[in-house]
A and B are shown apart, each in its own frame.
Chain A
Amino acid sequence: MSTDLEQFYQIFFEEASELLAEMESRLLGLDIQSPDAEDLNAIFRVAHSIKGGAGTFGFTDMTEMTHMLESLLDKLRKGELEIRSEMVDAFLEAGDVLKKQLDGHRGLDQANTEEVAAVAQKLKLLMAETAQEQAVSAPVVTEQETGAAPAADEDSAGHSLAQPQVTQRAASEDVSTQSAVTYHIEFACGDLAERVKQKLLHDLACQGVLENLTAPDNSDQCVLRLTTQMSEEDTWEALAFIVDPVSLSIRREAVASAVQSPGSAAGEERNDAAPDGREIDAGQAVGLQSSQSPADEGVSNSSGTGTGTGNDVSAAIDAVTTRDEPPAADTPVGRQSSKKPAEPAKAANNESSSIRVSIEKVDQMINLVGELVITQAMLAQTASQIDPVIYEKLLNGLNQLERNTRDLQEAVMSIRMMPISFVFSRFPRVVRDVAAKLNKQVDLKTVGEGTELDKGLIEKITDPLTHLIRNSLDHGIESPESRVAKGKSAKGTITLRASHQGGSIVIEVADDGAGLNREKILAKARSRGLAVNDNMSDPDVWMLIFEAGFSTADAITDVSGRGVGMDVVKRNIQGLGGRVEIDSIAGQGTRISIRLPLTLAILDGLSVAVGDQLFIVPLTYITESLKPAAADIKTVRGQGRVVQVRGEYLPVIALHEVFHLQPAVNEIHEGILVILDAEGSKAAMFVDNLVGQHQVVIKSLESNYRRVQGVSGATIMGDGSVALILDAVGLVHVTKQRMVDAA
């Protein structure tokens, strides 16, 4: 049986990750002033789905956490409670904890138990406040509901407790929350740090009127009197997290509340931790339960489901329905009926609109289509030699095949395409967190989230982008004070923009911050012994920040000192076949553009001939091709050759020399120069001839062979032969190095 379940673990992990991501984005998008009911419902559903799944697989830690979330969210979405920003913070933290717990179950890092406890505590405090506020603001409506929340709360914390008892507690709470109650609290505090104790006392004081009755000479026993609207359970919960539950005793004192029920009398003198201190027998509990309102039936149902973690998802969903019922009783029927049918309909839509397919299957399909494209090209080439009059039908068929192949290729490639919003959606959180840490006010704008790119790229672009954004936050955007001093609005803006440009996708990270400091970068470069001079163009200067180990060291913070340097960003992007460009204006901001190929599998290339060989040059690196005049070719110290192109002297890379080939033409002015622009360094590549422009499928040389210098991969041409794809960046750099060495 357990092996059966394990098959579904992976599905649960994937789903839960997606759900958590959805929750986060919804939370971040939530308008605190007027939260959208649909958003709250969606967040609730997410928490609930995770709880259901986690319960099925017996991940109790996740069940507990989601249960707390769920209880609080339930109140929010029912409009019993105003959402506040600290709740959103707590929810986000809870989301983080859940992610870690999920990783823990996946066999990765375990969640930090202290962290879990801290977040749980936070949620509980919010819950406690809830109860209190409700009692003040709407005593009548909350009578049932406040009973519901602590009961639910209880089942997550005291997970192993028997169900009748849970119900009984719910009953007692029901009464106790009606008005302020005075508790006599005693606990051992000998092993508590003074700071912790003060914090605890402060927290309690926030909940009501606190009197410290501790004898001044007794440092081991702490005696408090608390008058509060908090339920006894919540008080206990609040304390039990910090003090040893064994030593904790909470007793209700002379009654401040006029309403007393048998339930609260029974619960009056109870030592929760010690089972022998319990004075209620089961019979009484059952009796109580039967005397409760129908609403409490619903509550006991749902908390029962939460406790039994072995339930399957459908049972958990049933519980939701049950849970929905109590408010339905006192809300107009119209509202319920308008809301209820909408939910299943939506779920059904989601169900049918996508399927889960393993990435290997998709990749296999892409490979096969790649083969088909090659075969089709081979056929087309052969067919170009036959007589079109005799074989008219065959040629028509081949034309049809070409169109279909192209469509098929596009369709298959689009399977791997995902909107870049998958990456962008994580940044509001990053910006929010980092900005808070740096005490900056930053707005994040995203443009073009719908732009699609390859899934492989999406995964690999996330880290570099995160680093760029952190960098913008840390170094780009100034503090609110200095922004105001400069006449800008206190709030900085970071703009993430994605767009298609030709065959590439361009992602920009722009800030309206201070801009790069030319002098500082140059000074830094000099101190690091880099070859720089004051006449360097701005783009060249900006590119210096991508040098390894180049950091504006006076500003090391925990935000930017995260190990990934700008050089790594650049290398990652290069590894994806992309390039980085920087624009910056002092005082106005910086814009970093990343240009990436749409996909990793296909490349637009220009085929060039050298001797009997064909090479593919990626189009993204080509700025122009020209036939030079003999007079434009100059030599430097008799060996290195340069060519003058519109006033610029560019080093010449003779491809036949690099690859030791016998060229068809030896004189540069008889051949063609292809001007390469690899990250700002330009060079002219000397080839015999240009052959044509192709879209080529990139094949790895390394899968059966090894890396070859100057070559980034291979492809198969229309005639079935192999052509090597040139590594333009590598070639330009090697040549540049050679020129430097020679000079």
Chain B
Amino acid sequence: MQQTQAASASESSNATPNSSSSEFLTFRLGKEEYGIEILKVQEIRGYDAITRIANAPEFIKGVVNLRGVIVPIVDMRIKFNLGEAHYDQFTVVIILNLSGRVVGIVVDGVSDVINLETEQLRDTPEFGAVIDTEYILGLGTVDNRMLILVDIEKLMSSREMGLLEQVGGWVSK
């Protein structure tokens, strides 16, 4: 099941630049709106009991039990310093399936799923964004809303997230 999803997810990531349209799940972080490819999303759930992990950076909230699978949870608001990181019944966790690895991200809220044509995508300007432009696929415009489209797979496997084994180093700090 997971593998199928992962396969389709990676397929879509290859296809994105060329295909005429793709679907994005949009979510809010503070006042900004972000979008990630819908095919990378496994499910959306509420924020509940999280087991903290020792010596992990602040933005890694800990791990949860997702039907028997231990899943790490990253709070994007803390990571990108956007908005207040408070947790209530409206706090949402998006569970991502990135090439078979399951990760959850905490966001302020999920808005909707939108379809973006290629012509609606704009190149990312060089700005001092909180997210390195390396991880931004582009900017999308829908009805005067600006969406920051994130290459979530690249971001999550990046060194700065420290989710993968290759990193290391921060544990001892």
Contacts and interface: CB of A to CB of B under 8 A. Distances in A.
B70 A704 contact: yes
Interface string B60-84: 0011110111111000000000000
Interface size class of B (residues with CB under 8 A): 20 to 34
A708 B63 CA distance: 12
DSSP majority for the B interface?
Answer: loop
Contact of A699 (B54, B70, B168): B70
Contacts of A699: 68-70
B85 interface: no
A710 B55 CA distance: 10
Given A704-B72, A706-B163, A722 B171 contact: no
Given A704-B101, A721-B65, A722-B65, A660 B71 contact: no
Given A374-B68, A709-B171, A720-B49, A704 B55 contact: no
Given A704-B102, A711-B54, A724-B51, A716 B68 contact: yes
A702 interface: yes
B52 interface: yes
B167 interface: yes
A705 B54 contact: no
Contacts of B51: 613, 714, 721-724
Nearest to B51: A722
17 contacts: A613-B51, A661-B54, A699-B69, A700-B70, A701-B53, A701-B70, A704-B72, A705-B63, A705-B70, A706-B163, A707-B165, A708-B171, A711-B53, A711-B54, A716-B68, A721-B65, A724-B53
B67 A371 contact: yes
Interface of B: 49, 51-56, 62-65, 67-72, 101-103, 162-165, 167-168, 171-172
A497 B164 CA distance: 42
A721 B49 contact: yes
Nearest to A719: B49
A8 interface: no
A370 B65 CA distance: 13
A708 B56 contact: yes
A659 B172 CA distance: 12
Contacts of A371: 67-68
Contacts of B69: 699, 703-704
Nearest to B56: A708
A630 interface: no
B9 to A, nearest CB: 15
Nearest to A701: B70
A704 B51 CA distance: 15
A602 to B, nearest CB: 14
B93 to A, nearest CB: 14
Chain B CB count within 10 A is highest, among A658, A705, A708, for A705
A367 interface: yes
A492 to B, nearest CB: 46
Interface size class of A (residues with CB under 8 A): 20 to 34
A72 B30 CA distance: 83
Interface of A: 367, 370-371, 374, 613, 658-661, 699-711, 714, 716, 720-724
A723 B53 CA distance: 10
Given A660-B54, A709-B171, A722 B64 contact: yes
Given A371-B67, A704-B69, 19 more contacts: A659-B55, A661-B52, A661-B54, A701-B63, A704-B72, A704-B102, A704-B103, A705-B53, A705-B70, A706-B162, A706-B163, A709-B55, A711-B54, A714-B70, A716-B65, A721-B49, A721-B51, A723-B51, A724-B51
A450 to B, nearest CB: 33
Chain A CB count within 10 A is highest, among B55, B68, B101, B102, for B68
B25 to A, nearest CB: 20
A711 B52 CA distance: 12
Contact of A708 (B53, B68, B101, B167): B53
A655 to B, nearest CB: 9
A371 B65 CA distance: 11
A123 B67 CA distance: 60
Report the 8 A-B pairs with minimum CB-CB distance, sorted nearest first: A659-B54, A722-B51, A705-B72, A716-B65, A371-B68, A714-B70, A706-B165, A721-B49
Contacts of B162: 706
A371 B68 CA distance: 6
A658 B65 contact: no
Nearest to A658: B54
Given A704-B101, A705-B72, A722-B63, A710 B54 contact: yes
B84 to A, nearest CB: 22
Chain B CB count within 10 A is highest, among A658, A661, A704, A722, for A704
A657 to B, nearest CB: 10
Contacts of B171: 708-709
A661 B65 CA distance: 21
A716 B54 CA distance: 17
Nearest to A702: B165
A711 B162 CA distance: 17
A720 B69 CA distance: 11
